[in-house]
């Protein structure tokens, strides 16, 4: 029965549920989305936002993986966890509210440690989205996904700052473009005019392809070349902030926290100096007061980054509209976001 629906269309219930989305990006895109399964790792504040967006968009299935327990800090940004859930597994505590968002999506929970999963585990998914993971784990899972043609995403929120990264391999998509018509002889612009004009009443679907680089290459840019030095002037400082925060996570096994802000700030400044010097980049790229803006998750930043990250997963799975290549950085202090393409060109 399900196979028949996938060939012939969607059910009336789904048509009603996803009416606005079908009008926005078309039936074929929605059908691709409803046939996709996604693995979401890390159910803190950002994970909750991404889960909400994917469930409401109508993916076929979402598996929420997290081996950690609910902490008091989670209540600040993680809206899927009910009060009084301290000590419970984060994914299990999020399940009921997540499933209630859209009963047509198969929402599952996995409480295992991500590092213990074999490569075959990931092949059951069309997209994998990691949050709260170390640099080494991010690179390892990205390599597995790249090898198996699985769409890979990563994201995190650190205080006022957040980011997302995508590696879609060789990704094909369609984009709606306004048709271009040419003015003929004798039009009001003059007898010899043949200027291209945009006809806003007609559109056409254009097929395109973009190639992504692995996360390891995107994080290991050689800044010593003349071309890279020129690029450095236009590269957001949040890219280097991410490098520092991932190194902190590796060294401490956690993210910077407000209750240990003094100790964490000193370590962050030391990591900044050592890491940026090793990259051949001036530590002045990050000001001395940057640690005070990187403590804990902030719900509004989770909402923005989770909205962009969820949207990018939907675009990739539905193969509709151009994806961000390959980083998105959000600065909550300035209230601005920027897309950066970093890595080998």
pLDDT 10s digits, 164-212? 999 999 999 988 888 766 555 545 555 555 455 555 567 788 999 999 9
**31, part of any domain:** yes
Mark whether 135 and 39 lie in a shared domain: yes
Q: What is the pLDDT of residue 4?
A: 35
What integer pLDDT is reported at residue 17 of this predicted model? 80
pLDDT beyond 90 at 228 = no
pLDDT given at position 6: 42
pLDDT digits (tens, 9 = 90+) for 233-257: 899 999 999 999 999 999 999 999 9
Domain check: are 157 and 234 in the same one? no
Tell me which residue of 231, 233, 271, 265 sits closest to 250, measured CA to CA. 271
98/165 same-domain check = yes
Q: Is the dihedral of CA 90, 92, 95, 96 positive or negative?
A: negative
d(CA 212, CA 165): 10
- pLDDT band at residue 14 using 50, 70 and 90 as cut-offs: confident
Rg of the Cα trace of the chain? 22
* Residue 113: band (very low, low, confident or very high) from pLDDT cuts 50, 70, 90: very high
Q: Residue 23: pLDDT band by 50, 70, 90 thresholds?
A: confident
pLDDT category of residue 35 using cuts at 50, 70 and 90: very high
Contact 155, 138 (CB under 8 A): no
pLDDT single digits (tens) 262-321: 999 999 999 999 999 998 899 999 999 999 999 989 999 999 999 999 999 999 999 999
Whether residue 145 sits in one domain with residue 114: yes
Single out the residue of 163, 131, 158, 136 nearest to residue 239, CA to CA. 163
315 and 243 inside one domain: no
In sequence order, the β-bridge partners of residue 108 are: 63
In terms of domains, do 288 and 316 share one?
no
As a whole number, mean pLDDT of residues 101-119 equals 97
Provide CB contacts within 8 A for 49, sequence distance 6+.
302, 303, 305, 306, 307, 309, 310
Last residue of a domain, one of 292, 313, 332: 292
- pTM: predicted TM-score of the whole model, two decimal places: 0.89
* 304 and 280 co-located in one domain: no
| Pair 46, 163 in one domain | yes
- Which domain CATH number covers 132? 3.40.50.720
User: Minimal CA–CA distance to 297: which of 39, 105, 27, 46?
Assistant: 46
* Residues 239 and 117 placed together within one structural domain of the fold: no
pLDDT above 50 (res 7): no
C-alpha 277/C-alpha 223 separation (Å) is 11
Report whether pLDDT(25) > 70.
Answer: yes
Report residue 157: phi and psi, to 5°: -125, 130
The total of other beta-carbon atoms located within 10 Å of residue 14's CB is 17
Q: Quick count: other Cβ atoms within 10 Å of Cβ 89?
A: 18
CA 212, CA 200: separation in Å to the nearest integer? 32
Separation in Å, CA 246 to CA 107, 154, 219, 268, 275: 29, 12, 11, 10, 11
- 198 located within any domain: no
pLDDT score recorded for residue 15: 79
Per DSSP, the three-state class of 269 is helix
Confidence category of residue 222, pLDDT binned at 50, 70, 90:
confident
Range in 23-27, 66-70, 140-144, 335-339 the model is least confident about:
23-27
Domain interval for residue 56: 14-171+298-340
DSSP codes of every residue in 89-148: BHHHHHHHHHHHH-TTSEEEEE-S-GGG--HHHHTT-SEEEE-S--HHHHHHHHHHHHHT
Chain-centre distance of CA 72, in angstroms? 26
State mean pLDDT over 126-147: 98
Domain total in the chain: 2
* Residue corresponding to tokens 């640099």: 135
Q: Is the domain of 317 the same as that of 259?
A: no
Assess whether 275 and 303 both reside in one domain: no
179 domain residue, yes or no: no
DSSP 171-233: EEEEEEEEEEEE--TTBTTBTT---EEEEEEEEEEEEEEEE---HHHHH---TTSHHHHHHHT
133 falls within a domain: yes
Is residue 1 included in any domain, yes or no?
A: no
pLDDT of residue 285: 94
Identify whether the C-beta of residue 62 lies closer than 8 Å to the C-beta of residue 53.
Answer: no
* Out of 125-134, 231-240, 322-331, least confident range: 231-240
CA 233, CA 216: separation in Å to the nearest integer?
Answer: 22
Residue 345 lies in a domain: no
Tens of pLDDT, residues 52-91: 999 999 999 999 999 999 998 888 899 999 999 999 999 9
In a domain, 264, yes or no: yes
One domain, residues 69 and 163: yes
Residue 184 lies in a domain: no
């Amino acid at each position: 029965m399900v196979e028949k629906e996938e060939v012939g269309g969607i059910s009336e219930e789904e048509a009603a549920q996803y009416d606005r989305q079908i009008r926005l990006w078309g039936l074929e895109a929605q059908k691709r989305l409803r046939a996709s399964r996604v693995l979401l790792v890390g159910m803190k504040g950002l994970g909750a936002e991404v889960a909400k967006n994917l469930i409401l968009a109508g993916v076929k299935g979402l598996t929420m993986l997290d081996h950690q327990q609910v902490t008091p800090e989670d209540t600040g940004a993680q809206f899927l966890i009910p009060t009084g859930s301290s000590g419970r597994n984060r994914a299990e505590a999020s399940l009921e509210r997540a499933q209630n968002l859209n009963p047509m999506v198969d929402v599952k929970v996995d409480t295992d440690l991500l590092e213990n999963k074999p490569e075959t585990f990931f092949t059951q998914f069309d997209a994998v989205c990691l949050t709260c993971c170390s640099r080494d784990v991010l690179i390892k899972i990205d390599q597995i996904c790249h090898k198996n043609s699985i769409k890979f995403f990563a994201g995190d929120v650190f205080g006022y700052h957040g980011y997302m990264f995508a590696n879609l391999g060789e990704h094909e998509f369609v984009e709606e473009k306004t048709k271009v018509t040419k003015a003929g002889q004798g039009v009001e612009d003059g007898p010899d005019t043949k200027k291209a004009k945009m006809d806003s009443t007609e559109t056409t679907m254009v097929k395109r392809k973009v190639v992504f680089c692995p996360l390891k290459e995107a994080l290991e840019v050689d800044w010593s070349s003349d071309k890279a030095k020129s690029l450095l002037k236009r590269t957001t400082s949040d890219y280097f902030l991410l490098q520092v925060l991932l190194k902190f996570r590796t060294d401490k096994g956690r993210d910077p926290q407000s209750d240990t802000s003094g100790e964490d700030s000193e370590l962050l400044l030391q990591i900044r100096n050592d890491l940026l010097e090793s990259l051949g980049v001036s530590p002045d790229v990050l000001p001395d007061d940057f640690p005070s803006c990187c403590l804990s998750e902030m719900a509004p930043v989770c909402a923005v980054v989770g909205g962009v990250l969820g949207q990018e997963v939907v675009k990739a799975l539905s193969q509709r509209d151009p994806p961000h290549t390959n980083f998105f950085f959000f600065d909550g202090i300035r209230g601005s976001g920027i897309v950066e393409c970093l890595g080998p060109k």
